[in-house]
Amino acid sequence: MDDSSILSGPVGQRGKGSHIPRGDARRATPGAGDREDGGAAGGPLGIYAKTPSTQEVIDPLTGEITRFKLDPKSREYVEEIDPSRFRWERFAHKSVVNQLLPTSRTSKCMRWRVPNQALQVFKSQEHNKAFYA
Protein backbone atom coordinates (compact mmCIF):
# COMPACT_ATOMS: atom_id res chain seq x y z
CA MET A 1 0.00 0.00 0.00
CA ASP A 2 1.52 3.39 -0.95
CA ASP A 3 1.07 6.76 0.76
CA SER A 4 -1.37 8.08 -1.84
CA SER A 5 -3.94 5.40 -1.05
CA ILE A 6 -3.65 6.03 2.69
CA LEU A 7 -4.24 9.77 2.37
CA SER A 8 -6.95 9.65 -0.30
CA GLY A 9 -9.85 9.99 2.14
CA PRO A 10 -10.42 12.12 5.22
CA VAL A 11 -9.45 10.76 8.62
CA GLY A 12 -12.26 9.05 10.47
CA GLN A 13 -14.40 8.43 7.38
CA ARG A 14 -15.11 4.82 6.62
CA GLY A 15 -14.44 3.55 3.15
CA LYS A 16 -11.66 2.83 0.74
CA GLY A 17 -8.37 4.67 1.44
CA SER A 18 -9.48 6.32 4.68
CA HIS A 19 -7.46 4.17 7.09
CA ILE A 20 -4.48 5.83 8.81
CA PRO A 21 -2.94 3.68 11.53
CA ARG A 22 -3.24 4.88 15.12
CA GLY A 23 -0.04 6.69 16.26
CA ASP A 24 0.90 7.74 12.71
CA ALA A 25 2.31 11.29 12.51
CA ARG A 26 -0.15 12.15 9.73
CA ARG A 27 -3.02 11.58 12.13
CA ALA A 28 -1.64 13.85 14.87
CA THR A 29 -3.24 17.16 15.69
CA PRO A 30 -1.02 20.24 15.78
CA GLY A 31 0.67 20.96 19.10
CA ALA A 32 0.10 24.05 21.20
CA GLY A 33 3.33 25.67 20.00
CA ASP A 34 2.93 24.79 16.32
CA ARG A 35 2.09 27.50 13.83
CA GLU A 36 -0.11 27.12 10.79
CA ASP A 37 2.79 27.83 8.43
CA GLY A 38 4.68 24.79 9.74
CA GLY A 39 7.12 26.62 12.03
CA ALA A 40 7.38 25.34 15.57
CA ALA A 41 8.22 28.61 17.35
CA GLY A 42 5.85 31.40 18.18
CA GLY A 43 2.86 29.94 20.00
CA PRO A 44 2.21 29.55 23.69
CA LEU A 45 3.31 26.33 25.31
CA GLY A 46 -0.06 25.67 26.85
CA ILE A 47 1.20 25.24 30.42
CA TYR A 48 0.34 27.06 33.59
CA ALA A 49 3.23 28.96 35.17
CA LYS A 50 3.51 30.88 38.42
CA THR A 51 4.40 34.12 36.64
CA PRO A 52 3.74 35.19 33.05
CA SER A 53 6.71 35.73 30.79
CA THR A 54 7.70 39.25 29.87
CA GLN A 55 6.90 40.61 26.43
CA GLU A 56 9.79 42.15 24.50
CA VAL A 57 9.56 44.90 21.91
CA ILE A 58 12.62 45.54 19.74
CA ASP A 59 12.97 48.98 18.17
CA PRO A 60 13.90 48.39 14.50
CA LEU A 61 15.85 51.68 14.24
CA THR A 62 18.01 51.48 17.36
CA GLY A 63 17.84 47.80 18.28
CA GLU A 64 16.84 48.72 21.84
CA ILE A 65 14.97 45.96 23.65
CA THR A 66 12.12 47.10 25.91
CA ARG A 67 10.52 44.54 28.21
CA PHE A 68 6.92 44.71 29.32
CA LYS A 69 5.09 42.70 31.97
CA LEU A 70 1.42 42.32 32.80
CA ASP A 71 0.35 44.40 35.79
CA PRO A 72 -1.95 42.16 37.88
CA LYS A 73 -4.00 45.10 39.21
CA SER A 74 -4.70 47.04 36.01
CA ARG A 75 -4.33 44.01 33.65
CA GLU A 76 -2.28 46.21 31.28
CA TYR A 77 1.27 45.81 30.04
CA VAL A 78 3.70 48.20 31.74
CA GLU A 79 7.41 48.68 31.14
CA GLU A 80 9.46 46.38 33.35
CA ILE A 81 11.76 48.30 35.69
CA ASP A 82 15.18 46.71 35.95
CA PRO A 83 17.46 48.35 38.57
CA SER A 84 20.58 46.73 37.12
CA ARG A 85 19.85 48.32 33.73
CA PHE A 86 19.55 51.78 35.29
CA ARG A 87 22.78 51.21 37.24
CA TRP A 88 24.52 50.14 34.04
CA GLU A 89 23.27 53.29 32.27
CA ARG A 90 24.56 55.52 35.10
CA PHE A 91 28.03 53.97 34.90
CA ALA A 92 27.99 54.27 31.10
CA HIS A 93 27.18 57.99 31.36
CA LYS A 94 29.86 58.38 34.04
CA SER A 95 32.39 56.71 31.77
CA VAL A 96 31.64 59.25 29.02
CA VAL A 97 32.05 62.13 31.51
CA ASN A 98 35.40 60.68 32.63
CA GLN A 99 36.65 60.73 29.03
CA LEU A 100 35.31 64.21 28.19
CA LEU A 101 36.26 65.96 31.46
CA PRO A 102 39.20 64.02 32.98
CA THR A 103 40.21 66.74 35.48
CA SER A 104 36.74 67.60 36.80
CA ARG A 105 35.41 66.61 40.20
CA THR A 106 32.72 64.55 38.50
CA SER A 107 35.27 62.28 36.83
CA LYS A 108 37.06 61.68 40.15
CA CYS A 109 33.86 60.84 42.01
CA MET A 110 33.51 57.16 42.99
CA ARG A 111 36.87 56.35 41.36
CA TRP A 112 39.51 57.73 43.69
CA ARG A 113 39.92 56.83 47.35
CA VAL A 114 40.48 59.58 49.85
CA PRO A 115 44.21 59.46 50.77
CA ASN A 116 45.29 58.37 54.26
CA GLN A 117 41.91 56.95 55.16
CA ALA A 118 41.40 53.31 56.05
CA LEU A 119 38.52 51.28 54.73
CA GLN A 120 35.55 51.49 57.08
CA VAL A 121 32.49 49.28 57.47
CA PHE A 122 29.26 50.86 58.64
CA LYS A 123 25.91 49.34 59.56
CA SER A 124 22.67 51.03 58.62
CA GLN A 125 20.20 51.14 61.50
CA GLU A 126 17.30 51.74 59.13
CA HIS A 127 17.96 48.73 56.86
CA ASN A 128 20.09 46.68 59.29
CA LYS A 129 22.71 46.06 56.57
CA ALA A 130 26.46 46.67 56.41
CA PHE A 131 28.24 48.72 53.73
CA TYR A 132 31.75 50.00 52.92
CA ALA A 133 32.76 53.65 53.11
60 inside domain: yes
Confidence band (pLDDT; 50, 70, 90) for 103? Answer: confident
Query: In the 8-state DSSP scheme, what is residue 122?
Result: E
> What does the alpha-carbon distance between residue 8 and residue 15 come to, in Å, rounded to a whole number?
10
69 inside domain: yes
79 inside domain: yes
CB 116 within 8 A of CB 104: no
pLDDT in tens, 22-72: 656 555 555 555 555 555 555 556 666 666 666 778 888 888 778 888 888
Task: Provide the mean pLDDT of the chain.
Answer: 71
66 inside domain: yes
77 inside domain: yes
Number of domains the chain contains: 1
Confidence band (pLDDT; 50, 70, 90) for 5? Answer: very low
pLDDT of residue 120: 81
The pTM (predicted TM-score) of the whole model is: 0.33
Q: Which domain holds residue 72?
A: 55-84
80 inside domain: yes
Mean pLDDT of 88-101: 87
11 inside domain: no
| Nearest Cα to Cα of residue 17 among 30, 31, 3 | 3
Mean pLDDT of 11-32: 56
